[in-house]
Structure 1
Amino acid sequence: MYSCAYEQFEIQRLDVPSRRCDVITIILCMIVKNEEACLGKCLDSLKGIVDEMIVVDTGSTDNTIQIAKDKGAQVYNFNWTGDFSEARNYAFSLAKCDYIYSADADEEIDEDNRERFIKLKEDIDELNVDIVQMYYCNQLAFRTVYNYDRELRPKLFKRIREFVWVDPIHEQVLLEPVVCDSDIEIIHNPRENHSGRDLETFRNAVREGRRISRRLLGMYARELFLAGSDEDFLNAKEFFTEATLDNNRSLDEIKEASCVLAHVAVLEKDADAMLKYSLKDAITEMSSEMCYELGNYYYNKKDLDEAIVWYYNAAYECSSILDIRKSRELPRLAIAKCYRELGNEEQGS
């Protein structure tokens, strides 16, 4: 049922004194805003699992706060700063139980997975882990920025971490957390698309001069391809251009930035930029995203035969690095459109 990371885990288990065998306590910590449509269902699905509930409200104008109180949660107010991490850190700072469970209001756990969670709660003290990952499901149904319908995410966190010495010789303090992968599945049912809010948050972080991490750069690029307008792409041009020139950025980051800039080049009909960024992507195997943008570039130039070549490469010869649709339905639909415009109705069907 559980898979734990790091080879040092077994050594740690041998060196740790016997622990109490009573069931640990779990506190729910979440941040919310205007979640009256789904908060009650989320909190109900956690009854019998969590021992306490903390809900941090960041400015609700609907019935969210009252619903949280009615469900037995402790409600705190947090003046929104535009930074989700600050809000979550505040919520975590209020926790007193052994473990913290982090959730969003649009999540729920069905009965089978509630039983798995309760069993985990009974076993976790023996596992002696710092973080438990659970499967986040239903992603593709709502066009989120994630390309996987089911993926592991850290959800349960040990509140106070014990530092222990490991290894029988040349001993050292175990600094990496011990992570356990569970088989618990969490159903994600977002009610609305937050891309506009998220893109503005990215832009604000850039304007403030904050370092955009490797993970966040990829998320910014995914958000653009998922829901960004032409204006959103153009507004992101300066940041992604600087990213391609940053020696501290990895090759993966440069490829992701180049895909964004290739889309900008298509919008601006800039052949030189299209060449520059397609070559940056071609340092390794070209991505489906870049091939798709080349297809768009030639389609706009009415060179349909060349457009078909690049759409074909996107669909059948390459893999996506940002938007999985660019290696699936989008280039195939584009190929059919090209054939129809060439008068080939059979291949365009």
Structure 2
Amino acid sequence: MITISLCMIVKNEEQVLSRCLDSLAGLMDEIIIVDTGSCDRTREIAARYTDKIYDYIWKDDFADARNFAFSKASMEYIYTADADEVLDDENREQFRLLKEAMVPEVEIVQMKYVTKNEFNTVLNFKEEYRPKLYRRLRTFTWIDPIHETVRLDPVVFDSDIAITHLPQSLHSSRDFKGFLLAFDRDGRLSEKLHRMYAKELLMTGEKEDFIAAAKVFLATLKDETASGDARKEAGCILSRCYRITGNVNEFFKLALKDMITTPCAEICCELGNYFFDAEDYDEAAVWYYNAAFETASILDVHTSGNIPLNGLADCYEKSGNAAQAEEYRNAARQWQLPDDNS
């Protein structure tokens, strides 16, 4: 049976920390808690479960904090958890069986991450695989019988274990600040962060968040080395920004450029919203229909699902067609996130 260090970074988690740690009881051989500046009872609660509690001076860098936590671990594997995660009884048993049966070749175990809809800021599926369990020390192995080379890609196992994410509130404002700090520090975002920022903005951003983000995505459009995907993402964010700030000329420039490539549902929804606000409900319906039935989403799957379906219902209500409006409203109610992205 493998041994596991639980590594967590926490701050002001008194409401949820016990719930998380109780759900992991008996599965972990070591518990590492790194506190980034709590001013509530978080440390007192953590002390009920472990004496390995460390202070960390926050540097606006989650990766650095997690690296610090990992440096304190001593077991064969490291399990990383956030305080608002929970393992139910069924998945605790799955985890226990995995711990007993783990083969030494596996270096990373992915687990299914499930977030309640009202707190889902970046997921386009009901559940998505995330790496959660890591071999602490990695060995290198030569492979290939001729022209041999060292295997660099880790051995990853996709488990059936499902982790339930039960946050008490959205973390968007914290995340938006982090994205902007990373951009100001490095002058650009990685492709992963660029996409995550765009997704979280579309799902939870307010007007001021889009205005603050504009510099990041304008830089993408000006960057000749930016990928086509990044440029499409930037177009989605900036079109929303220009629409809600009334910059009609720049809004239509971006929307038209999207139409001459492969149109995305996000831009179609923005056009639908523009014409709906202008009380041109027939034209708005055209673009909502395109979003729902003719195009695909690139960032927020809701823009090819319940969002344009509700938009169509709103248009038909405004036009006095109650029966058609109710048909689309029912379709929006019945729409669900895809099961997973595996």
User: TM (normalized to structure 2)?
Assistant: 0.91
2:16 maps to 1:38: yes
Quote how far apart the aligned CAs of 1:97 are. 0.8
Give the equivalent residue in structure 2 for 1:56.
34
Query: Which position in structure 2 is the counterpart of 1:47?
Result: 25
Number of residue pairs matched? Answer: 326
Equivalent residue for 1:344? 321
Distance 1:54 1:299 in 2: 53
SS in 1 for 2:298: coil
Say whether 1:181 aligns with 2:158. yes
What corresponds to 1:108 in structure 2?
86
2:63 is aligned to 85
Partner Cα separation in structure 2 for residue 345 and residue 120 of structure 1? 54
Which one of the candidate residues 132, 141, 148 is aligned to 2:125? 148
Aligned mate of 1:225, from 193, 202, 213: 202
Q: Choose the corresponding residue for 1:250, options 227, 240, 256.
A: 227
Q: Contact conserved, 2:188 with 2:216, CA < 8 A, in 1?
A: no
Structure 1 window deviating more from structure 2 (333-342 vs 169-178): it is: 333-342
Tell me the equivalent position of 2:248. 271
2:44 match: 66
Match of 1:171 in 2: 148
Give the aligned partner of residue 337 of structure 2: none
- Between stretches 233-242 and 270-279, larger displacement belongs to 270-279
**1:187-227 Cα distance to aligned partner (Å, 9 max, x none):** 11111111111111112222223431111111111111122
CA distance in 2, matches of 1:267, 1:144: 20
Q: Which moved more, 1:189-198 or 1:294-303?
A: 294-303
1:194 paired with 2:194, answer no
* Counterparts of 1:252 and 1:270, CA distance in 2: 24
Q: Which amino acid is the alignment partner of residue 226 of structure 1? A: M
| Shift of residue 51, structure 1, vs aligned partner | 0.2
Structure 2 unpaired stretches of 5+: 327-342
The alpha carbon displacement at 1:141 in A equals: 4.6
Shift in Å, 1:131:
0.7
C-alpha deviation, 1:176, in angstroms: 1.1
- Tell me the distance in 1 between the aligned counterparts of 2:309 and 2:71: 50
Q: Deviation at 1:169?
A: 0.5
Q: Tell me the TM-score normalized by structure 1.
A: 0.89
C-alpha separation in 2, matches of 1:123 and 1:249: 44
| 2:236 match | 259
* 1:140/1:148 contact within 8 Å kept: no
Mapped contact 1:254–1:280 kept (Cα < 8 A)? no
Counterpart of 2:190? 213
What is the alpha-carbon distance in structure 1 between the residues aligned to residue 77 and residue 33 of structure 2?
Answer: 16
User: Whole-Å Cα distance in 2 between the matches of residues 249 and 154 of structure 1?
Assistant: 27
Secondary structure, aligned partner of 1:346: helix
Tell me the secondary structure at the aligned position of residue 212 of structure 1: coil
User: Which residue of 1 is the match for residue 96 of structure 2?
Assistant: 118
Distance in 2, Cα, partners of 1:279 & 1:262: 10
Q: For the Cα contact (< 8 Å) 2:272–2:286, is it kept in 1?
A: yes
SS in 2 for 1:183: strand
Does the alignment pair 1:237 with 2:208? no
Determine the C-alpha separation between the residues in 2 that align with 1:133 and 1:239: 31
Q: Distance in 2 between matches of 1:257 and 1:301?
A: 24
- Cα distance in structure 1, aligned partners of 2:325 and 2:134: 52
Q: What do you get for the CA RMSD once the two structures are aligned? A: 1.6
Q: Residues 246-268 of structure 1, C-alpha deviation per residue, up to 9 Å, x if partnerless?
A: 22222111111100111122123
Question: Is the 1:26–1:50 contact (alpha carbons within 8 Å) kept by the matching residues of 2?
Answer: yes
